[in-house]
Structure 1
């Protein structure tokens, strides 16, 4: 199985149809061939496959390489400030995904660290991460990381995928070619690291989210039979929105160079298929329940599979002393009151200010709930910066102060605003005392807050009474989890009346109805876990890549907007001009058959 090294000789071999001239990627790595990525300028050694296979008790050759913008690790300086200490971030979704994989599968992670590492320490940090955590770090450097993540991902891709177009000339979200180049350069750094150790025979590469949209093309150009999938955790916008993006073809063609594309909902997948149809002229087909796009001889699968949570993680928290102490405090603090709750990032797409205004309307229309109803709004720190984030924070604080002044007293505040990340034990404690969770996001990929809340209200067996196992949800119809929660009250977050009425319906709902809805939600959440999601995705990835060895692959095109991997039958033979010329000159009768628009043969991808 050959990889494409990118040298002049390899390009010549492709042009001549001679794949035997292209060196095998794995052999090149072992022998220091052209596929090996030189890291000498950074003082780092290359990652070899053997260095990542030394996992005690593992004798399987099959590996899954999970690629994400950030590794699922927490980092801090050691007590003497001489080195870095690392630990797993058990709350990270990609860290939990490995639980859905067979026990004999080796799981590797590749991504950036959340902290900046001095170039002099990169080699030692890499050694620790590889040996102790099976993590391969990508060191981008501070300037490139800023331009790639905060510049392009957060200021341009994130708004685009959430239906926010930069209509104002002063908008920071307008397309910036320099930022795009930084994005491509960062994706190339990920591809360079993967090429160091990935084996096309034994490994599956699973890429995550919008930070790495062009990685499939960059990777397949060099490892043409790599088994590669990508799961998008954000919404995918409608074609009317996506067509405004100047690099739309680059992104679409790169995504189609993956073998399996995953989306949380049917709507997101439908929008992607519509973009492929309108901008690339590609139509999808369905076969045995699967959705596929034929792209230059390859079948690209479309997977619709919402992710879930790890219930055991939240249920175990009920035994923690910190949880018991904090829950006791909250029960005392909110005695005699009905608690509603919201947890959101400080982000313009979360609809926090609309949630507060809806509560204001509820208290205005239903005076009997003044002094009895409390909304606890937890705002996690913003993941990006800018004028819009600052204005949002100021508006949230203004709304909170106005509503508390209007309906509150010295002993009662209708809104408790918490501007910090809360530890897991405290989050579970708040969930356990809240009778309703409100999600008013204007756009969101999935949003797992309702799932976490349902698990926390279920509690471990023997710790809660049957009557305490009840919950209610007010959920925006624009979030990915909404279709899965049939018992939730779905609302249009732009309608303050709808959100306010939804809140009121929740707090007035009889206990028996809340218990029935909770039971329905618990059955779904407990079955559709993050492990189930990962297992299902990887099963389909294996299915869509099992016939890779049956094809000859040819790379055509150089730029992201034109590169594609053409897959032909393994018995395909390139028609040589000299042979054709000889046969033509030596023949006595000649017939010319000219085809137009599929009149003689059906149209194909080639």
Structure 2
């Protein structure tokens, strides 16, 4: 064979090797079951990534079993992934809500940590990654606490990452947040029978604010290849805006609320624009596979695209976006629990604080005052319980912690008034001296105070009419190191796919809910222990670091795939007949013959 023939074969071999490597990476990226994110497979199966293999080897070197590696997802695990598989990657988190708020109080400044599921999930991740968190600065003292570049180092007691605040005018906030995001997208995505309201002026504000956050992301990026974690429905347009200016960035968008079916989604006047914006992402994540499927069906219906269902990917506009389910979770609260009193003292404190009878069973609800949470439906269930079991009147108290939320919007003001009227009515009909069956506390509570309430409760009701995941359910389980307490959990919350030992209820069925309440009130301590023990194992093992690690491992695969694409493209170019002689000449110069 001639030298030219040999060189041509050599070039074709390069192409073949590159394509084979790509096939391996596409195979690895096939969609995993949403109940086992970032699981490391052993005994001859493929390991999720090189980073996971290195984590495994580290555990084995230290004498720990493979099983330990599967359950001990921690900040150190994330740091290993970043160091080994995403070296020098800058992590940027973008959300509407900031993790620390500074408010004026008297002559000083008060630091507020918002009680938010998103903050609870993302704050430990950002700490572990030493990243930058970009958020709206809405605190009354936020401006005076930042430096000249609108940055502040947080947490205050042990600074480990940067909070970059973005300032919005009152008009921008009203249109983007209260208007389009929460009067439009929020009811659109939640099946709670509240009609979405769409105004063109709100859309204009939404688009402008997304553009402002894109400018901030670009300004904060230290190079052209950051990893940007875009959070939630406030920023549907942001991924495309980032992609236009940072084409080599890995953009991971996580949608924290449900995604409706395509028929419901079609209501939105800007449906194609929103889908186009989100498909600027490298990865789009949802809590459940059901919501991921709804998103894919919406894209299939409204955009010219190619759906790769086997790979859980969408090809659109020359780019491929992975669409996966990543069930979110919480940080296992070892340090927080160590600071709290034992369960008996928590019970005494909570009952004293809210004036609750010492001998009554305590049922709790903890969330923002929102029409998607099913608060009124709990009151219906309690009324049904008293009708069916009048002997329980005086023996059950329902404590509803309802943090004020979006109180300027009509739907929220109406809900507040309805809750107060219903509670007053139940207290009038079933109450007595020293006993109120319903206690509503419409104020914000610190994380420590909330966990104290969890530990004091006999029953926790999570009765969402429609929800993404709902971390209250997981927090209640994590708080119960005494392995007691009963969780009533809506079938319409994503957590019901994982916490199967909870009493799963339909919040629209008052009779069913009252029956579950009766079952919870009479459940033996042993059955409570068996159920709680299994749920605690699930929440501890599938913690927030595993959730984040799943997405970072997928990001690492995408980055490596991009590098292989470039290698393969170069090999194909060099293997063309016009390049055979140049290849031959380069090999001679390099001494390869």
1:340 matches 2:368:
no
Match for 1:147 among 153, 175, 192? Answer: 175
| Residue of structure 1 equivalent to 2:238 | 215
Judged with a 3 Å threshold, the aligned counterparts in structure 2 of structure 1 residues 394 and 99 are, in CA distance, closer, same or farther, namely closer
Label 1:419 to 1:226 Cα distance change in 2 as closer, same or farther (>3 A). same
Whole-Å Cα distance in 1 between the matches of residues 333 and 533 of structure 2?
A: 17
1:125-164 equivalences in 2 (<5 Å) = 126-129=150-153, 133-163=161-191
Aligned counterparts, 1:168-317, within 5 A: 173-199=196-222, 201-287=224-310, 290-312=311-333, 316-317=336-337
Equivalent runs, 1:16-55 vs 2, <5 Å: none
Cα pair distance change 1:123/1:469, threshold 3 Å: closer
The separation in 2 between residues aligned to 1:309 and 1:437, in whole angstroms, is 17
Report the number of matched residues: 481
- 1:174 Cα deviation (Å)? 2.6
> Does the 8 A contact of 1:344 with 1:352 survive in 2?
no
TM-score by length of 1: 0.73
Of 497, 517, 521, the residue aligned with 1:503 is 517
Query: 1:477 aligned to 470, 488, 491, which one?
Result: 491
Q: Is 2:100 the partner of 1:73?
A: yes
2:558 alignment partner, one of 544, 549, 558: 544
Query: Does the Cα contact within 8 Å between 2:399 and 2:439 map onto a contact in 1?
Result: yes
State the secondary structure of the residue aligned to 1:469: coil
Shift of 1:454: 0.9
Contact 2:117 2:471 in 1 (8 A): no
Change (3 A) 1:533 1:364: same
Q: In terms of mean alpha carbon deviation, does 316-325 or 228-237 score higher?
A: 316-325
Aligned to 2:90: 63
Whether the aligned pair in 1 keeps the contact of 2:407 and 2:413 (CA below 8 Å) is: no
SS of aligned partner of 1:70:
coil
Deviation readout 1:407-442 (Å, 9 max, x if unpaired): 221022211221111223322222112111112211
Q: CA deviation at 1:321?
A: 6.7
Verify the 8 A CA contact 2:101 2:142 in the aligned structure 1.
no
Give me the TM-score of the superposition, normalised by structure 2.
0.74
More helix by share: 2
Given candidates 539, 543, 546, the residue that maps to 1:525 is 539
- What is the DSSP-based 3-state SS (H/G/I as helix, E as strand, rest coil) of the residue aligned with 2:133? strand
User: Partner residue of 1:598?
Assistant: none
Contiguous gaps of at least 5 residues in structure 2: 1-82, 574-593
> SS at 2:315's partner residue?
strand
Query: How far is the alpha carbon of 1:161 from its aligned partner?
Result: 1.0
User: 1:101·1:534 contact (CA, 8 Å) conserved in 2?
Assistant: no
Match status 1:107 vs 2:131 = yes
Whether contact under 8 Å (1:299, 1:544) holds in the other structure is: no
CA distance in 2, matches of 1:89, 1:337: 31
2:339 matched residue in structure 1: 319
Could you say which residue in structure 1 is the equivalent of 2:349? 329
Asked if the contact 1:259/1:545 (under 8 Å) is kept, the reply is: no
Name the stretch that deviates more: 509-518 or 372-381. Answer: 509-518
Q: Is the 8 A contact 1:68 1:208 kept in 2?
A: yes
Distance in 2 (CA, whole Å) between partners of 1:190 and 1:496 is 44
Query: Which sits farther off after the overlay, 352-361 or 144-153?
Result: 144-153
Secondary structure of the 1:547 match is: helix
Provide Cα deviations, 1:202-224, integer angstroms capped at 9, x if missing partner.
Answer: 42111000000100111111222
Residue 382 of structure 2: aligned partner: 359
| Equivalent residues of 1:97, 1:531 under 8 A apart | no
CA distance in 2, matches of 1:230, 1:263: 9
Tell me if structure 2 keeps the 8 A contact 1:258–1:300.
Answer: yes
Alpha-carbon deviation of 1:118?
A: 9.1
Aligned to 2:398: 375
Distance 1:154 1:143, change over 3 A: same
- What per-residue deviation string (whole Å, max 9, x for no partner) do you get for residues 536-585 of structure 1? 11111221233334568xxxxxxxxxxxxxxx956899xxxxxxxxxxxx
Q: Which runs of 5+ in 1 are unaligned?
A: 1-56, 168-172, 459-467, 553-567, 574-606
**Structure-2 separation of matches of 1:95 and 1:150:** 22
CA contact (8 A) 2:103 2:142 kept: no
Residue 297 (structure 1) shift: 3.8
Does structure 1 conserve the Cα–Cα contact (< 8 Å) formed by 2:261 and 2:295?
yes
Q: Is the 8 A contact 2:351 2:358 kept in 1?
A: yes
CA distance in 1, matches of 2:388, 2:232: 43
Residues 397 and 437 in structure 2, CA contact (< 8 A), matched pair in contact too: yes
RMSD: 3.1
> Is the alpha carbon distance of 1:456 and 1:374 closer, same or farther for their aligned partners in structure 2, counting shifts above 3 Å?
same
Higher mean C-alpha deviation, range 363-372 or range 329-338: 329-338
Q: 2:415 aligns with which of 392, 405, 423?
A: 392
